[in-house]
């Protein structure tokens, strides 16, 4: 389904209402939004919320959304990140058309705007150190102190700013500051820094610049230059709005985008901060940005999440003004809902126990007809080979089974889904007393799983024919953190809450043979085990490795739940 169809019928959130009003009143003929990532890491699920909002609003209004890289921090940014971000936005189903921009493309213009501010007497070069600037800033209850450099002449400011630009002043010796109000109740307006000297190469402009503009100066002007109408950002920028407006008002720019803040996405049992995700990657706590346990877009993609499920998740959580926490289960439900509708069912035995059907012919293979989706007949049927030796889940047998255990135990009968009724006659143990094999008999009259005499057999289990099985690796995932709010403990690092069992690798799973031909786009329900897909990194030709995307919760699973 396209992003367009999904969003068209939703009730309007407060941002969409503002936009609708601005269009209705004629304030804007068309709207322009932007998604402005800094290319200093991979995108995460929080960014997906912002992407779905900015691009979603554009799609709904037949308008454009720009992708703009906010690349003003050369030390931390790279082309690798630029590429991954484009890949992720596209994968999510959105398109910026020809509107790909970089703040670094505006460095010349931004510099000229800074010179304008100096000429207006609204910016000055300040030689206080970083620490001194902080000390002068004051607190919420006390006004700040003016810098001794605040009232130098426009000519002097222009001359020193030119020296800064020309590389004649060493890094850290001075900055350009806006001249606003050191007593403002909004601390951000207490003469914020606009430019600093950095002798660092930029991934796009190389060594052309040794001064780089700050976020607050860059962002509003980039929005203005691109004629953005609504600049949507997260709540932590609420106080920055006054500076956003001050810069544009003071420069009397031809247009003035409106900044609107919304609550960022917080999900429990995870961290959504690029800085922290980067630590997990560089310190080797995960295998990379695309580790299937990471809530990065690339991690979710590798895990098997569909773009539609992530868009649907973002639509479910909505856009609001108040900070809140979303339960990880909401995200899991989004992919579960999608796959429950769309994923074909197959058989995969994760913890195999061999069963020999003693009265089944030695060399016979039957092709059993299995439905691909019990509720959606259009998904068709497939055949699954059946033979004298099969594997079942070890947990489907119990030696001392309670009465309500409706699966196998010596003397009990169970249905092999789409095959036969079998009765366990004998268990075989190894030296340690572990059950390693079952001897069962099958009822030849029960093909398809129905007893000829109408006797009731309650339990139904899945199976895979042993000689035909695809023996391979399956990876199960749990939450990456054991604490609900891993980065909220002031005294402990979020890394102390890493879940030591978040990855389980099962080496000898037995899957129905058709799964050998799985492609990267395929997703399956392994009946009773959850939803699975190919792991694009671990798989090799002829040796597919599967990821569990999410566990299962449907009636068929419940029917057979352990007692
Ligand atoms: P992080 O905090 O992970 O470093 P960031 O805000 O520094 O993220 P940017 O690249 O600046 O990362 O973000 C691009 C856009 O995505 C911004 O408009 C930002 O507001 C938005 N965004 C980032 N995190 C979230 C989130 N958790 N929920 C909603 N929007 C977010
Ligand atoms: Mg940011």
Q: Whose CA is nearest to atom 3 of ligand 1?
A: 273
Task: Determine the length of the chain.
Answer: 563
Q: What is the pLDDT of residue 11?
A: 78
Counting ligand 1 atoms within 8 A of each CB, the residue from 47, 235, 270 with the most, and so the one to mutate, is: 47
Closest ligand 1 atom to residue 237 Cα is 20
Give the distance (Å) from ligand 2 centre to CA of residue 231: 14
- The DSSP letter of residue 264 is P
- Give mean pLDDT in consecutive 10-residue pieces for the chain, a chain of 563 residues: 54 95 97 98 98 97 98 95 98 98 98 98 98 96 97 98 98 98 98 98 97 98 98 97 98 98 96 96 98 98 98 97 94 96 96 98 97 94 98 97 96 97 98 97 96 93 98 97 93 96 97 96 97 97 96 59 43
Locate tokens 């700013």: which residue?
A: 161
Burial 476-495 (b: 16+ CB within 10 A, else e): bbbbbbebeebbeeeeeebe
Counting ligand 1 atoms within 8 A of each CB, the residue from 37, 77, 238 with the most, and so the one to mutate, is: 37
> Could you give the C-alpha distances from 310 to 36, 240, 306, 431, in angstroms and in order?
19, 30, 7, 50
Q: Whose CA is nearest to atom 23 of ligand 1?
A: 47
d(CA 256, CA 283): 43
Is 257's C-beta closer than 6 angstroms to any atom of ligand 1?
no
Question: Which tens digits make up the pLDDT trace of 120-143?
Answer: 999 999 999 999 999 999 999 999
- The DSSP letter of residue 296 is B
Ligand of minimum distance to the alpha carbon of 76: 1
d(CA 83, CA 489): 34
> Which long-range contacts does 550-557 make (Cβ < 8 Å, 24+ apart)?
550/304, 550/332, 550/335, 550/336, 550/339, 551/332, 552/336, 552/525, 552/528, 553/336, 554/340, 556/374, 556/527, 556/528, 557/528
Closest CA to 306 of 42, 48, 14, 35: 48
d(CA 462, CA 563): 18
Alpha helices in 166-251 (DSSP H): 215-225, 241-250
Q: Which tokens is 161 given?
A: 């700013």
Closest CA to 523 of 514, 534, 511, 510: 534
Give the distance (Å) from ligand 1 centre to CA of residue 45: 10
Closest ligand 1 atom to residue 232 Cα is 18
Q: Whose CA is nearest to atom 26 of ligand 1?
A: 46
- The DSSP letter of residue 257 is P
* Residue 93 region by backbone torsions, left for phi larger than 0, else alpha for psi between -120 and 50, else beta: left
Is 264's C-beta closer than 6 angstroms to any atom of ligand 1?
yes
Q: What is the pLDDT of residue 9?
A: 62
Is 344's C-beta closer than 6 angstroms to any atom of ligand 1?
no
Q: Work out the burial of residue 385: count CB atoms within 10 Å of its CB; fewer than 13 is exposed, 13-18 middle, 19 or more buried.
A: middle
Give the distance (Å) from ligand 1 centre to CA of residue 263: 11
Is 387's C-beta closer than 6 angstroms to any atom of ligand 1?
no
Q: Whose CA is nearest to atom 27 of ligand 1?
A: 46
Give the distance (Å) from ligand 2 centre to CA of residue 173: 26
Q: What is the pLDDT of residue 553?
A: 78
Give the distance (Å) from ligand 2 centre to CA of residue 289: 18
Q: Are 66 and 32 in contact (CB under 8 A)?
A: yes
Ligand of minimum distance to the alpha carbon of 273: 1
Half-sphere exposure of 218 (CA within 13 A, CB side): 24
d(CA 45, CA 300): 9
288 SS3 class? coil
Neighbouring C-beta atoms of residue 389, cutoff 10 Å: 16
d(CA 238, CA 86): 27
- Predicted structure pTM score: 0.94
d(CA 174, CA 113): 19
Is 36's C-beta closer than 6 angstroms to any atom of ligand 1?
yes
Neighbouring C-beta atoms of residue 381, cutoff 10 Å: 12
Q: Whose CA is nearest to atom 25 of ligand 1?
A: 46
Question: Which tens digits make up the pLDDT trace of 170-204?
Answer: 999 999 999 999 999 999 999 999 999 999 999 99
84 SS3 class? helix
Closest ligand 1 atom to residue 51 Cα is 16
Give the residue numbers annotated as catalytic, written as ranges: 38, 264, 274
Is 299's C-beta closer than 6 angstroms to any atom of ligand 1?
no
d(CA 6, CA 18): 20
DSSP 11-40: PP-HHHHHHHHHHHTTS-SS-EEEE---SS
Domains, the chain, with CATH or none: 107-215 (3.90.800.10), 265-345+474-563 (1.10.1160.10), 348-462 (2.40.240.10)
d(CA 494, CA 293): 15
Give the distance (Å) from ligand 2 centre to CA of residue 293: 23
Give the distance (Å) from ligand 1 centre to CA of residue 262: 11
Angle at 487 between CA 481 and CA 492, to 5 degrees: 95
305 SS3 class? coil
Is 76's C-beta closer than 6 angstroms to any atom of ligand 1?
no
Q: What is the pLDDT of residue 562?
A: 44
Give the distance (Å) from ligand 2 centre to CA of residue 274: 9
d(CA 130, CA 174): 9
Ligand of minimum distance to the alpha carbon of 71: 1
Q: What is the pLDDT of residue 493?
A: 95
């Amino acid at each position: 389904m396209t992003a367009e169809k999904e969003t068209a019928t939703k009730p309007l959130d407060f941002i969409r209402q503002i936009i609708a009003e601005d269009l209705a009143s004629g304030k804007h003929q068309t709207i322009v939004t932007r998604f402005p990532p800094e290319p200093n890491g991979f995108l995460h699920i929080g960014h997906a919320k912002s992407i779905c909002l900015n691009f979603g609003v554009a799609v709904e209004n037949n308008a454009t959304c720009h992708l703009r890289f906010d690349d003003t921090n050369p030390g931390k940014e790279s082309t690798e990140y630029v590429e991954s971000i484009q890949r992720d936005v596209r994968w999510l189903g959105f398109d910026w058309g020809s509107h790909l921009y970089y703040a670094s493309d505006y460095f010349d213009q931004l510099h000229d705007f800074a010179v304008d501010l100096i000429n207006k007497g609204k910016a000055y070069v300040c030689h206080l150190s970083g620490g001194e600037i902080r000390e002068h800033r004051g607190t919420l209850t006390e006004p700040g102190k003016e810098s001794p450099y605040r009232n130098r002449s426009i000519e002097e400011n222009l001359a020193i700013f030119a020296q800064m630009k020309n590389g004649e002043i060493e890094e850290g010796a001075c900055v350009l500051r806006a001249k606003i109000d050191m007593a403002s109740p909004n601390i951000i307006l207490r003469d914020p820094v606009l430019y600093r000297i950095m002798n660092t190469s930029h991934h796009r402009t190389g060594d052309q610049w040794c001064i780089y503009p700050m976020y607050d100066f860059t962002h509003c002007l980039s929005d203005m230059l691109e004629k953005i109408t609504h600049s949507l950002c997260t709540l932590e920028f609420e106080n920055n709005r006054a500076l956003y407006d001050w810069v544009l008002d003071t420069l009397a720019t031809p247009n003035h985008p409106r900044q609107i803040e919304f609550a960022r996405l917080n999900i429990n049992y995870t961290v959504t901060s690029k800085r922290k995700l980067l630590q997990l990657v560089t310190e080797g706590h995960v295998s990379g940005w695309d580790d299937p346990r990471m809530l990065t877009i690339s991690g979710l993609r590798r895990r098997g999440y569909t773009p539609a499920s992530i868009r649907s998740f973002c639509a479910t959580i909505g856009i609001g003004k108040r900070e809140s926490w979303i339960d990880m289960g909401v995200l899991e439900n989004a992919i579960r809902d999608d796959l429950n509708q769309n994923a074909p069912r197959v058989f995969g035995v994760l913890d195999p126990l061999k069963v020999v059907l003693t009265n089944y012919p030695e060399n016979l293979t039957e092709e059993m007809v299995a439905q691909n989706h019990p509720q959606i007949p259009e998904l068709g049927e497939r055949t699954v080979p059946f033979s004298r030796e099969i594997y079942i889940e070890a947990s489907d047998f119990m030696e001392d089974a309670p009465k309500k255990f409706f699966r196998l135990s010596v003397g009990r009968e169970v249905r092999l889904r789409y095959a036969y009724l079998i009765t366990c006659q004998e268990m075989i143990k190894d030296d340690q007393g572990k059950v390693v094999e079952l001897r069962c008999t099958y009822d030849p009259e029960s093909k398809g799983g129905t007893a000829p005499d109408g006797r009731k057999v309650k339990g139904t289990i899945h199976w895979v024919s042993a000689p035909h099985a695809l023996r391979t690796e399956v990876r199960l995932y749990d939450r990456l953190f054991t604490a609900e709010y891993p980065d909220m403990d002031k005294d402990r690092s979020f890394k102390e809450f890493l879940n030591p069992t978040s990855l389980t690798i099962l080496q000898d799973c037995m899957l129905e043979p058709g799964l050998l031909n799985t492609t990267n786009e395929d997703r399956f329900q392994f009946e009773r085990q959850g939803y699975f897909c190919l792991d694009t990194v671990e798989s090799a030709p002829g040796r597919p490795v599967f990821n569990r995307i999410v566990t299962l919760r449907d009636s068929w699973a419940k029917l057979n739940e352990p007692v």
